[in-house]
Amino acid sequence: MTGVPTGAGDLVLLDVFGSPFAQRVRIALAEKGLAYERDEQDLAAKSDLLRRSNPVHGKVPVLFHLDRPICESLAILHYLDEAFPATPPLLPPATDPYARARARFWAEYSERLHLVGKRLWLRRREHAGDGDEDEDAELEAAREEMAAVMRALEGELGGREFFGGEAFGYVDAAAAPFAAWFLTYERHGGPRIAGEFPGMAAWAARCLRRESVAANVYSPEKVCELVQEYRQWLLTRK
């Protein structure tokens, strides 16, 4: 716990490659240059280890550091900053509590992308306008909410390279996994991101080019493909 990068055995991550919450942690570990072991989980048949280490939620990611589990992606990112102070920080410095509080706010807010995104792609029908007025109204509401989320994030980004300024930081690590989902949001009725939110589109492209992100998320096309498969499976099950 001294800030010296550890051997891979000291850090073990229970994760699922495609989980955007687990991706946050892998991105942060990559940014910090920390070696770790991955333990891919099967969420359809949860292991005793996952249940024991995250008894409240039973979700990934869980990071073990020296055999002690830490749950919740944002808590893990925070922990990594504190436990490994010699590595590149994600949060603003402790001498700037205001900037830290602000970063925590926007990191949490970035989850709106995922929640509202689901309302776009997890609908029964692929397209609006073929007869179900309730579904059309829900699609329109979700599209508007996604536009509001993008607008708010773009306002916070404020023309900077990253939410962390010139450096990729805590909000960037928290939100970057969702950058790979922008294409899916668009294809399922969301706003045209490049046209309406050029700042967010440029930020997403910047993130996806970054090694820590590119190595740890699926490509936007692959996300679309997997979402389509998942949707089919889910909708035919009902």
Ligand X SMILES: N[C@@H](CCC(=O)N[C@@H](CS)C(=O)NCC(=O)O)C(=O)O
Q: Which residue is nearest to ligand X (CB)?
A: 59
Which residue's CB is nearer to ligand X, number 73 or number 212? 73
Q: Which of 6, 10, 58, 208 binds ligand X (CB under 6 A)?
A: 58
Total residues in contact with ligand X, by rule CB under 6 A: 11
Interface with ligand X in residues 138-167 (CB under 6 A)? none
User: Shortest distance, CB of residue 16 to ligand X, whole angstroms?
Assistant: 6
Tell me: does residue 43 bind ligand X (CB under 6 A). Answer: yes
Q: How far is the CB of 94 from ligand X (least distance, A)?
A: 23
15 touching ligand X, by CB under 6 A: no
Q: Which amino acid is at 33?
A: G
**Least distance from ligand X to the Cβ atom of residue 116, Å:** 15
Exactly one of 21, 168, 181, 203 binds ligand X (CB under 6 A); that residue is 21
Give the closest residue to 199 by CA, choosing from 182, 216, 213: 182
Q: Which is nearer to ligand X, 91 or 201 (CB)?
A: 91
Binding mask 64-83 for ligand X (x = CB under 6 A): --------xxx---------
Per residue, the 3-state secondary structure of the chain, as one string, reads: CCCCCCCHHHEEEEECCCCHHHHHHHHHHHHHCCCCEEEECCCCCCCHHHHHHCCCCCCCCEEEECCEEEECHHHHHHHHHHHCCCCCCCCCCCCCHHHHHHHHHHHHHCHHHHHHHHHHHCCCCCCCCCCCHHHHHHHHHHHHHHHHHHHHHHHHHCCCCECCECCCCHHHHHHHHHHCCHHHHHHCCCCCHHHHCHHHHHHHHHHHHCHHHHCCCCCHHHHHHHHHHHHHHHHHHC
Of the candidate spans 4-12, 53-61, 204-212, 222-230, the one that interacts with ligand X by CB under 6 A turns out to be 53-61
Q: Using the minimum distance from each CB to ligand X, give the nearer residue, 83 or 201.
A: 83
Q: Which stretch binds ligand X (CB under 6 A): 54-62, 122-130, 190-198, 199-207?
A: 54-62
Confirm or reject binding of residue 177 to ligand X (CB under 6 A).
Answer: no
Query: Are 46 and 81 spatial neighbours (Cβ–Cβ below 8 Å)?
Result: no
Q: Which residues contribute to the site for ligand X (CB under 6 A)?
A: 16, 19, 21, 43, 58-61, 72-74
